[in-house]
Structure formats: C-alpha cells, structure tokens
Amino acid sequence: MPRLLPSALLASIALVAGISHAEPVLFDDFDGNSLDLGVWRLPIGPGTFFGRTQIKPPSEAPTVSGGTVVLQLDTHNPTANEPGDSFWGHEIQSLEAFSIGEGLSIRSRVRFLGSPPGGLVGGFFTFGLNFPIRDEIDFELLSADLGNEMIFTNVFDDDDFSQAGDFLHLGAPGFDLTEFVEYEIRWLPDRVQWYIDGALIREEVGTVPDDPSEVRVNLWAPSDSFAQAYDATLQPAASPAANQEYELEIDFIEVTAVPEPSGLPVIMVGMVVILSCRMAGGSHMLKRGA
C-alpha cells in the first residue's frame, strides 16, 4: 500500500498551496436517536429482495444511538412466502442522487459487530438505476473474509443485473472487518479509486460509471451465485425462536466534491514542500520545511 503522509505535512501543503476543501454535500454522523428521513429513505417495493434476503420495511428502521446507525440481519424473515426461505436485512439509501461533476469522494466508517458467521455482506456503495441497466461502485464487506485480511470491490457501468461487474477480491494486510475502518470511493470523470484508511488499494480506468447515483449501505445474505460471499452453513430460520441477529455499524457517511488546488502548483521532494511561484521581477522558489 502507498505510504501515507503525516497529517502535519498535509496541513502545511494545504496552507502553502491554497487547496480548497469543499463543504460536504452530504454528511451524517448519526448524532440522534432516529434515522434522518430528510437524508435517507428505507426502501419498499420492487428491488428490495436480492440474494436470499428481503429488506425490512420502514416500520423496522435501523437503530440510531450513540453516534452510529446499526443495520441488522435476522435469520428469520416473518414476511417470507414460506417459513425459512429467506433472511430479513436492512438497507438505507440517500434521497439524493449525486452527479459526478469534477469528482466526488464518498466516505464512511463501518464494522461488523461481534463475530458473525460467513455468508453475510455489508455493502457500502453508489447506485444509479436506469432500468434495466445500472451504474454502481462497491465496497463489499464479506463476513467470509473474517481473519483473511481481504476486501471485495466491484464496479458496474451500464450493466444489466445478469453481469458480475469488474470485481477484484483484494488482499489488505492488517485489515480487520470487526474494527472501524474508513472506506472511501473516489469517483472521478476518468477513473474510480478505492481507499482504506487513506491508502489506495485499487484504481479502475476501464469501467467508470457516469450516471447520477445514490449512496447506499446494506446488510444481506447472498445466494450461491455470489461465490466469494456465500456460505452454505448460514441458513434462514423457519421460526422466531430460532432467529439469530447479526449487525453492521456505521459511524458516519460523507459525500464531498473532490478538492481542487486553487493556488499554485506544489512539488513534493522528500519531506520538503517546494512552491513554485511567479512574482514581480521574476521567478522565485520558496521552501517550506515539513
């Protein structure tokens, strides 16, 4: 993974270069006791069943408490067509669909609670639908990867629902799905980038979505068509007494325009920032130590 610069050095760069930090166009740190329905919707109707999971209705909203929101998956689905044929999960969707513009940063901190079994997917992703095709950029947290230091990423551009996307199942040394990790999607006009705790883990230039897209987070159990995530030992429960609950916790979600330099070009040389500027009477080099 690329080396991260010290925060003090980054602050110096921003000060010298005049980097503009855009205000978030969406920010929710879940500092309340209920989901903000001016920002999020709880989906109903078509599209709320996927894999082996029925998404819960708005009457079964996720719990918001202590500055986080917790999505829950139940192994017993009380709305199942037949007892024991499906799971009951959660999804939240932004009311707004965001256009790419000059580029967007979509960030969140997410973790599994407890020690869930294999077979669960915690999704943090963008989603734009022009039925029957979709645009989508995914982080997929697979409980099957617990202890494996792996993360699943995917991207779709004008794909129908029969297509698997351009996915990569990546090694991430030191990565722990049960600890809070910051996930960032950089959605740019000519590429997509995936970051974990500020480190770039993947860049895709061949498949770049361009349709306005919502931000979504969900917790669900897939069918065996999602081989990397599926676990045959995780099965739906036929009765409430046999129900098991599993949880995904989200600390915040933010969507921000990617900052653009508003000042002069900066060149990094070792730990020294060199600012090239033009003044009256000629060119000069200003040096700022880190």
55 and 85 part of one domain: yes
68 and 91 part of one domain: yes
Whether the bond between 132 and the residue before it is cis, its omega within 30 degrees of 0, is yes
36 and 175 part of one domain: yes
137 and 276 part of one domain: no
The strand pair at 272-279 and 214-220 is best described as: unpaired
pLDDT digit string, tens, across residues 240-272: 999 999 999 999 999 999 965 444 343 333 333
114 contacts 73 by C-beta, under 8 angstroms? no
26 and 10 part of one domain: no
Please tell me whether the overall predicted TM-score, pTM, comes out greater than 0.85 for this model: no
230 and 249 part of one domain: yes
Question: In angstroms, rounded to a whole number, what is the distance separating the alpha carbons of residues 262 and 253?
Answer: 26
6 and 110 part of one domain: no
81 and 180 part of one domain: yes
34 and 46 part of one domain: yes
13 and 100 part of one domain: no
Identify the sign of the CA torsion 180, 90, 229, 226: negative
Domain span holding position 282: 1-21+263-290
Burial status of residue 241 (CB atoms within 10 A of its CB: 0-12, 13-18, 19 or more): exposed
273 and 220 part of one domain: no
Whose CA is closest to 107, among 257, 270, 224, 229?
Answer: 257
Give the helix/strand (H/E) hosting 129.
strand 121-130
Whose CA is closest to 111, among 183, 184, 42?
Answer: 183
Q: What is the CATH number of the domain that holds 67?
A: 2.60.120.200
Instruction: Identify residue 27 by its one-letter amino acid code.
Output: F
Question: In angstroms, rounded to a whole number, what is the distance separating the alpha carbons of residues 74 and 221?
Answer: 10
95 and 228 part of one domain: yes
Per-residue pLDDT for the chain (290 aa), expressed as one digit of tens each? 333 334 343 343 333 333 344 789 999 999 999 999 999 999 999 899 999 999 999 999 999 999 999 999 999 999 999 999 999 999 999 999 999 999 999 999 999 999 999 999 999 999 999 889 999 999 999 999 999 999 999 999 999 999 999 999 999 988 999 999 999 999 999 999 999 999 999 999 999 999 999 999 999 999 999 999 999 999 999 999 999 999 999 999 999 999 654 443 433 333 333 333 333 333 333 222 33
Q: How many domains does the chain have?
A: 2
